[in-house]
Amino acid sequence: MSALIRNNRICLEGDWSTSGIADQYPRLLRELSKIGAPRPAAPELDLSAVSALDACGCQLLTALLASLRRSGLVPASASIPEELHRTIRLMGFGELFTGLEQPA
Partner 1 sequence: MSRPEDKNNSINLDQFNLVFFEECAEHLAEMERILISLGDAEPDSEQLNAIFRAAHSIKGGAGIFGFQDMTVVTHVLESLLDQLRNNEMAFSPGMIDLFLEAGDVIGMQLAGHRDGTEVRQEAIDEIRARLQQMIDSGNETPTAGTLSEALQEKCPVSAAPAAVCRQYEMLFTPDPDIFKRGVRLESLFSELEELGELTVTARPREEIELTENFDPEICVTNWKLSLKTTASEAGIREIFEFVADEDQLQLRVVEAADATGSDAPKAAVMSAPGSRQQSAATVDPVQAQTGRRAYDKNELAPGAYGRRAGEAESSIRVGVAKVDQLINQVGELVITQLMVAQTAAGLDPVLHENLHRSLLQLERTTRDLQQSVMSIRLVPISVVFSRFPRMVRELSTKLSKQVELKTIGDSTELDKGLIEKITDPLTHLVRNCMDHALETPEVRLASGKETSGTITLRASQVGGRIVIDVIDDGAGLNRAKILKKAAERGIPASESMSDDEVWQLIFAPGFSTADTVTDISGRGVGMDVVLRNVQSIGGRVQITSEQGKGTRVTVSLPLTLAILDGLSVAVGSEKFIIPLNAIIESLQPGSDSLKSVNGRPVIHVRGEYIPIVALHELFNLETRITDPREGILVLVDVEGEKAAVLVDALLDEHQVVIKSIETNYRRVPGTAGATILGDGRVALILDVGSLLEMRKTTTST
Biggest alpha carbon distance in the chain?
36
Q: CB of residue 47 vs partner 1: minimum separation in angstroms?
A: 16
Whether the Cβ atoms of residue 54 and residue 86 lie closer than 8 Å to each other: no
Stretch that binds partner 1, among 1-9, 28-36, 42-50, 75-83 (CB under 8 A): 28-36
Residues 80 to 99: which contact partner 1 by CB under 8 A? 87, 89-93, 95
The rounded distance, in Å, linking the Cα atoms of 4 and 6 is 6
Q: CB of residue 103 vs partner 1: minimum separation in angstroms?
A: 25
Q: Dihedral of CA 56/85/97/1: which sign?
A: positive
Q: CB of residue 46 vs partner 1: minimum separation in angstroms?
A: 19
Q: CB of residue 8 vs partner 1: minimum separation in angstroms?
A: 22
> Does the footprint of partner 1 cover residue 13 (CB under 8 A)?
no
First CA to last CA distance, the chain:
26
The rounded distance, in Å, linking the Cα atoms of 19 and 56 is 9
Q: Which residues bind partner 1 (CB under 8 A)?
A: 18-26, 28-29, 32, 54-56, 58-60, 62-64, 66-67, 87, 89-93, 95
